[in-house]
Structure formats: C-alpha cells, structure tokens
C-alpha cells in the first residue's frame, strides 16, 4: 500500500462523493460539504504535494459532546474539517479491504456487509450451543484511551509506506479545539472521523485473535465484546485473564462497574437481550425500552400545546427508525406494551389540552358519550394519566382515530417487517 494509491484520482473522487453524501457538520475552519468542491479546485494540487512529500498537517478537530444512549454522561466527538475527512476517507478506502479480509469472524462492527443484527444472531447461537453464561466486558472510555504507540505498531505490521503511517499519526495527534483553544491529544482516536472505526478494529482485532487462540466463543461490535462460556467459574477466569491481556498488551482498561459475568438474559448487548429458553429468543432489552420511554416523555413535554396530528407526524420518522433497528426482536409483547403506553400518553395530552371540565364534557359528548356519562367523566377529579387509561378516553379517542392522525403501531410494523416480501 502506497500513498499514491490513496491519492489516485478515482479513489479521491469516490472519497469526495461519500463525504458529500454523508453531509456532516463543519470542522474548525467552518467549511461545509457544499463548499468543499470549489475549494479543492483551488487548493488540491498544493494539498496533494504536501501529502506526497510527507508534510501535510491536519487541522485540529472540533469538539462536540452528545448525550450517551443510556443517558449517563456525554460522549465526545471530534469533528475533522471537511478536507481532512476527505483525506481520511481516501485512506480508509485503501486500507479497509486489506485489513478487513483478515479480521476475525467474531467481529461485526464497522465492517462492510456486517451488522449489529448479525452480532446478535451470533450471540444467540453461542447461547443455544450451551454457553449460558456471558462475560460482558465494557472498555472504559475506549475511543478516548487508545494508545497511539500500540495502535501505530499494529498498523506498521501491514502498511509499508511510512508516509501513510505518518499521516495517520498526525490525524491522531492533531489536537482538539474548544472555545478557540487547541489542546494536545496524546491518546485516543475520537469518534467523528471516517478512519476512527477502522483504527478501533485494527487494535481490537488483537483481542479477537487472542480469544480465538484460546477457543472462546464471542461476538464483538466495536468496543462492545461478549464472551460466552458454560459456567460462572469459567466466566470469572476469562474475565480476569482477558482483563490482564487488555491491560498489559493493548494498554486498555476494563470498566469493572459496567462489566460482569452473568446470565445473558440479565445483560444487554447492542440494545437487545435474550429469553431463558434452551433455544433463546431475541428481545428488546428493558434498558432500551426505558430509554425510548424517557425520550418520548421529553418529546411530549416539548410538544405540549401543539396540534396532536402534527406532533404524531413529527415523531413518525424516529419511531420507524427505532422499529427498523429492533425488528430483530422476536418477543412481540414489548411492542404491544409500547403501543398501549404511547396511545395512553397521547390521550393524556388530549385530556390536558381540554383543560376545564366544561371543555372536557363538550369534547366527550361530541365523541360519542352520553351527556350524563360525559358529565361524570369530565368531573371525576382524577389526574390526566388516570383518565387517559379510563374507558371514556378509550371510547372517545379510539385506536382508529390515532391511526388516522398517522400514529404507527409498533406491533403492526414489527409484523410487517418480519413478513417475507
């Protein structure tokens, strides 16, 4: 692999196409993806010469923090400039095929043709084979703590052109800009650049190979690794030995608070969990359901006072995306329960919007209740949540009405996605 292969016209054109299609926020220079093509017409020859002469210096990344999926803490992203993203993408397109061909069969994250759903299926196969204990390892702040020297030594085993290696190291050490000040980066490969996923797999492939050498059954997706064993005692031994390997060889740290040796159905893996049967079924993890409900409650708070139909339509894309990811789940009770809960929350919104007993009585009467039933229901003294689950609101705001407003049924969508085309 030579830097000339990275800079080949066809490779750069494909990289530019992907960077533009990915959209993405501007880096520290403020350049957008719409502005990059005109800028390259002027600047590309100078940039190309700097890269070939091993002089190119990437700009610092722009620090962005987003909430973690579990709601506990923030995840740090490092957003490179669009031109630096272009160069990283070009490097990725050259390195990925060479490295991916030798990656472990138990690795599923950030690899062409592989997915989280395949990792879940592999985990289920291991459980069904009799490995009904899991060593669930959480690597502490993995992307922030990757050791640059260890990573570069692994890359150097496969990449002969020193210019590629020097360029990658400069990307790793480019620094982070916060409030106009640049801080040095001596470790880590911040999420946000095209190269980061591949670099994480290059480093963690050594863990995969070690697990294979020891004969362990495992599934790994990025830094989320589960090893499946037949007893708790075996799991404790694996946890201790793998932790030593990660610490001594890869300079990584296991977060013992978030890691455990437990039954697979007591843990979550990529948002999923499993049933206890000998032939386990995949289900949405309780933690994922809780996260969904917490997010929905927040959306409801923001949507108070708005037209219900518009609110439902605004939620539809994210709900369909959530369902598309969790279509792998086979336990449909979760989707039935979510449908009931969401409908009740929406009826709760309507009850709040009606506000006064007089308005509630009028609305209930208009929707089919007798005047006496409407009077008693409107003045029952209970709160919105109680009323949202009561028979009068179920009668007056039926499922068909909410469906007409655009509300998706999670259960129906699950069955549709499961049906053969």
Rounded to whole angstroms, the Cα distance separating 158 from 145 reads 23
**Residues 6 or more apart in contact with residue 1 via CB below 8 angstroms:** 94, 95, 98, 158, 159, 160, 161, 164
Could you tell me the pTM of the whole model? 0.88
DSSP for residue 60: P
- Write out the chain's pLDDT in tens, 421 residues: 689 999 999 999 999 999 999 988 899 999 999 999 999 999 999 999 999 999 999 999 888 877 766 556 667 788 899 999 999 999 999 999 999 999 999 999 999 999 999 999 999 999 999 999 999 999 988 888 899 999 999 999 999 999 999 999 999 988 787 766 676 777 777 788 899 999 999 999 999 999 999 999 999 999 999 999 999 999 999 999 999 999 999 999 999 889 999 999 999 999 999 999 999 999 999 999 999 999 999 988 876 777 899 999 999 999 999 999 999 999 999 999 999 999 999 999 999 999 999 999 999 999 999 999 999 999 998 999 999 999 999 999 999 999 999 999 999 988 888 764 3
Closest CA to 216 of 238, 243, 195, 231: 238
**Whether 291 contacts 145, CB under 8 Å:** no
Q: Are strands 217-221 and 224-229 parallel, antiparallel or unpaired?
A: antiparallel
The torsion of the CA quartet 124, 127, 130, 132, rounded to 10 degrees, works out to: -170
What are the two backbone dihedrals, phi and then psi, of residue 250, each rounded to the nearest 5 degrees? Answer: -100, -5
User: Alpha helices, DSSP H only, in 101-158?
Assistant: 116-128, 142-145, 148-156
Closest CA to 185 of 144, 149, 215, 222: 144
């Amino acid at each position: 692999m030579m830097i000339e292969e990275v800079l080949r016209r066809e490779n750069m054109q494909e990289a530019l196409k992907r960077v533009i299609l990915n959209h993405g926020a501007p880096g520290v220079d403020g350049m957008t993806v719409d502005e990059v093509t005109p800028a390259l017409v002027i600047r590309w020859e100078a940039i190309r010469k700097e890269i070939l002469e091993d002089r190119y210096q990437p700009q610092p990344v722009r620090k962005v923090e987003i909430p973690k999926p579990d709601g506990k803490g923030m995840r740090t992203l490092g957003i490179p400039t669009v031109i630096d993203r272009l160069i990283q993408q070009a490097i990725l397109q050259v390195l990925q095929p060479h490295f991916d061909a030798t990656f472990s069969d138990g690795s599923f994250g950030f690899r062409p043709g592989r997915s989280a759903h395949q990792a879940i299926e592999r985990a289920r196969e291991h459980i069904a084979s009799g490995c009904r204990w899991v060593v669930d390892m959480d690597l502490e702040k993995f992307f922030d703590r990757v050791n640059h020297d260890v990573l570069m030594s692994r890359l150097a085993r496969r990449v002969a052109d020193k210019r590629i290696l020097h360029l990658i190291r400069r990307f790793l050490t480019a620094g982070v800009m916060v409030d106009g000040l640049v801080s040095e980066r001596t470790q880590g490969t911040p999420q946000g650049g095209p190269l980061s996923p591949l670099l994480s797999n290059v480093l963690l492939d050594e863990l995969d190979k070690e697990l294979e050498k020891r004969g362990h059954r495992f599934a790994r997706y990025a830094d989320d690794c589960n090893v499946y064993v037949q007893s708790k005692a075996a799991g404790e031994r694996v946890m201790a030995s793998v932790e030593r390997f990660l610490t001594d060889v890869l300079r990584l740290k296991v977060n013992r608070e978030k890691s455990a040796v437990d039954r697979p159905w007591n843990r979550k893996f990529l948002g999923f969990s499993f049933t206890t049967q000998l032939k386990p079924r995949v289900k949405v993890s309780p933690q994922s359901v809780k996260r969904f409900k917490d997010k929905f409650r927040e959306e409801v708070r923001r949507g108070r006072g708005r037209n219900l139909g518009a609110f439902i339509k605004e939620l539809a894309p994210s709900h369909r995306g959530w369902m598309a990811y969790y279509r792998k789940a086979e336990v449909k009770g979760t989707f039935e329960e979510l449908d009931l809960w969401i409908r009740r929350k929406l009826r709760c919104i309507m009850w709040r919007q009606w506000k006064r007993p007089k308005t509630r009585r009028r609305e209930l009467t208009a929707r089919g209740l007798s005047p006496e039933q409407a009077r008693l229901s409107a003045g029952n003294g209970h709160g919105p949540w109680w009323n949202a689950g009561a028979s009068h609101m179920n009668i007056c705001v039926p499922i068909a009405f909410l469906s007409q407003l655009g509300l998706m049924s999670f259960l129906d969508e699950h069955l549709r996605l499961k049906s053969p085309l």
